């Protein structure tokens, strides 16, 4: 008999025989404390299936664990609509920026060994980033006006996106944009070392520690992992994080025997119609081996692999007898590191009442309005460009992973409705 069912039967028997002792009330209170029950499961399934039925997504899946047990799995629609291949538990998706927390965990395994401090200058480990210049404007001749960096960027700046880097994808950025385009530091033909050398030759967009600007910081974290460990970032992460957790199918390169499970990628046009992105574009990064293994994105995974990662985090760094990080390190990662003095935060406020820890957003307050994404104070989470999502809710010992392959990023309220379905708000 399933251990969970057996335990519930025992509790119910004890409750029925001890009505006058108050035990029944305790059992009822414990049951009421659960987030995911039959009603919750129905809400989630209804919510996700509606996105497929309405044609807003081709395929979608969700997995939820609570208090160490799987409490929900559902898959709807197709991973490959044209070939009529169903979305299922084995579907492999591109997780994009959900790669970042894995990079952060790899970095923090080195922190636990005492090999760096959070406020160490990046240049201590990567001399390329010494004496960085900061662009403060353009002169009348169209040349950049530069000033010295007022302080070196630190490892903490890398982990909270305050290092000063411009996003390489912002080609329209005056002065810096054309330099990034010419150097192309994020070309898949580069190694991380070549990426760092090119990036270090571009002025910073702002003084380190003065604003939050999402982007390339986590790729530099990956380079720091290489410099400190003496191993390639890919090999270090595989050995000390992914293999230890048996996340065997979380990879940059998807071998031929697993490609039938790889999801197609879809783009919603201005009229809300889903169009399949060409496989030659969408799959090139994953079906060929390239020199660059990014820390910021690039991994693919099935849903159970990523759930394993989140369960390790909710269990404070350990899972199934394997320890990746100490509890205090996970707590450090899930603590807000953005000072209130850092007021300029790009689009981070769109995530709700959050700060930022080490490669996660961290919820500081309850939602300020019904329009904001639902969540519990103390949760930490992140998402991916193709509209994937995960969160860790320590207060309820709950972890949730949502997989889909949809561009542009969640323009249909998918994340909010999934969160609402889990927590029962708005229903």
Same domain, 405 and 280: yes
CB 180 within 8 A of CB 171: yes
Same domain, 291 and 394: yes
CATH number at residue 214: 1.20.58
Same domain, 204 and 242: no
Same domain, 282 and 368: yes
User: Which candidate, 377, 378, 376, 399, places its Cα nearest to that of 389?
Assistant: 399
Cα distances (Å, whole numbers) of residue 63 to 48, 358, 398, 401: 12, 24, 11, 5
- Give SS3 for 46: helix
- Residues near 393 by beta carbon (within 8 Å), at least 6 away in sequence: 314, 375, 376, 378, 379, 399, 400
Q: Is 107 inside a domain boundary? A: no
Tell me the whole-structure pTM to 2 decimals: 0.92
DSSP 101: H
* Cα 382 from Cα 97, distance rounded (Å): 8
The domain boundary, picked from 170, 205, 230, lies at 230
DSSP 272: S
What is the pLDDT tens value at each position of the chain, 427 positions in all?
A: 444 443 444 344 434 444 444 333 332 333 347 999 999 999 999 999 999 999 999 999 999 999 999 999 999 999 999 999 999 999 999 999 999 999 999 999 999 999 999 999 999 999 999 999 999 999 999 999 999 999 999 999 999 999 999 988 887 789 999 999 999 999 999 999 999 999 999 999 999 999 999 989 999 999 999 999 999 999 999 999 999 999 999 999 999 999 999 999 999 999 999 999 999 999 999 999 999 999 999 999 999 999 999 999 999 999 999 999 999 999 999 999 999 999 999 999 999 999 999 999 999 999 999 999 999 999 999 999 999 999 999 999 999 999 999 999 999 999 999 999 999 987 7
Phi, psi of 52 (to 5 degrees): -75, -50
DSSP 344: B
User: Which candidate, 174, 175, 171, 227, places its Cα nearest to that of 196?
Assistant: 227
- Give SS3 for 284: helix
DSSP 78: E
Same domain, 257 and 361: yes
Instruction: Return the pLDDT at 14.
Output: 37
* Cα 153 from Cα 65, distance rounded (Å): 38
- Give SS3 for 262: strand
- Residues near 321 by beta carbon (within 8 Å), at least 6 away in sequence: none
The domain boundary, picked from 176, 198, 230, lies at 230
Residue 308 burial by Cβ neighbours in a 10 Å radius (0-12, 13-18, 19+): buried
Same domain, 165 and 135: yes
User: Which candidate, 255, 212, 241, 217, places its Cα nearest to that of 345?
Assistant: 212
Total of domains in the chain:
2
Q: Is 11 inside a domain boundary? A: no
Instruction: Return the pLDDT at 33.
Output: 75
Q: Is 104 inside a domain boundary? A: no
- Give SS3 for 178: helix
Domain that holds residue 73: 36-99+235-423
Same domain, 272 and 401: yes
Same domain, 95 and 126: no
Give the pairing type, strands 59-66 and 69-80: antiparallel
Instruction: Return the pLDDT at 10.
Output: 37
Rg over CA atoms, the chain: 23
Same domain, 406 and 309: yes
Instruction: Return the pLDDT at 6.
Output: 39
User: Which candidate, 53, 99, 46, 103, places its Cα nearest to that of 74?
Assistant: 46
Length of the chain in residues, anyone? Answer: 427
Same domain, 268 and 395: yes
The domain boundary, picked from 215, 230, 245, lies at 230
CATH number at residue 327: 3.40.710.10
Same domain, 153 and 219: yes
Q: Is 200 inside a domain boundary? A: yes
* Cα 58 from Cα 85, distance rounded (Å): 10
* Cα 14 from Cα 5, distance rounded (Å): 14
* Cα 409 from Cα 406, distance rounded (Å): 7
Exposure string (b/e) for 232-248, b if CB count within 10 Å is 16 or more?
ebbebbbebbbebbebe
CB 421 within 8 A of CB 44: yes
């Amino acid at each position: 008999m399933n251990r969970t069912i057996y335990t519930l039967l025992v509790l119910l028997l004890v409750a029925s025989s001890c009505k006058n002792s108050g035990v029944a009330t305790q059992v009822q209170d414990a049951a009421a404390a659960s987030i995911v029950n039959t009603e919750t499961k129905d809400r989630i399934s209804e919510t996700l299936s509606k996105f497929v039925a309405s044609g807003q997504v081709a395929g979608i899946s969700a997995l939820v664990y609570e208090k160490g047990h799987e409490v929900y799995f559902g898959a709807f629609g197709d991973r490959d609509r044209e070939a009529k291949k169903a979305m299922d538990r084995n579907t492999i998706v591109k997780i994009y920026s959900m790669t970042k927390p894995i990079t952060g965990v790899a970095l923090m395994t080195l922190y636990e060994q005492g090999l760096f401090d959070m406020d160490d200058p990046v240049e201590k480990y990567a001399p390329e980033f010494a004496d960085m210049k900061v662009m403060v404007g353009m002169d009348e001749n169209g040349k950049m006006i530069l000033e010295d960096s007022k302080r070196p960027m630190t490892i903490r700046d890398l982990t909270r996106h305050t290092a000063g880097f411009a996003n390489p994808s912002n080609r329209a950025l005056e002065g810096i944009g054309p330099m990034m385009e010419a150097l192309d530091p994020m070309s898949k033909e580069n190694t991380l070392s070549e990426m760092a050398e090119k990036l270090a030759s571009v002025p910073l967009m702002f003084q380190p520690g003065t604003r939050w600007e999402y982007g390339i910081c986590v790729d530099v974290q990956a380079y720091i992992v290489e410099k400190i460990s003496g191993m390639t970032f890919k090999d270090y992460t595989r050995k000390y994080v992914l293999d230890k957790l048996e996340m065997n199918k979380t990879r940059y390169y998807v071998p031929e025997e697993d490609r039938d499970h790889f999801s197609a990628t879809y783009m919603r046009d201005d009229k809300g119609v889903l169009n399949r992105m060409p496989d030659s574009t969408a799959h090139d990064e994953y079906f060929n081996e390239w020199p660059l293994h990014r820390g910021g994105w690039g991994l693919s995974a099935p849903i159970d692999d990523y759930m394993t990662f989140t369960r390790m985090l909710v269990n404070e760094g350990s899972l199934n007898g394997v320890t990746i990080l100490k509890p205090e390190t996970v707590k450090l990662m899930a603590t807000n590191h953005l000072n209130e003095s850092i007021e300029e935060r790009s689009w981070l406020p769109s995530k709700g009442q959050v700060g930022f820890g080490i490669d996660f957003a961290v919820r500081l307050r309850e939602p300020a309005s019904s329009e904001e994404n639902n969540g519990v104070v103390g949760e930490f989470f992140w998402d991916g460009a193709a509209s994937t999502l995960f969160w860790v809710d320590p207060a309820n010992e709950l972890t949730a992973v949502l997989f889909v392959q949809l561009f542009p990023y969640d323009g249909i309220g998918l994340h909010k409705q999934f969160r609402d379905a889990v927590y029962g708000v708005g229903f």
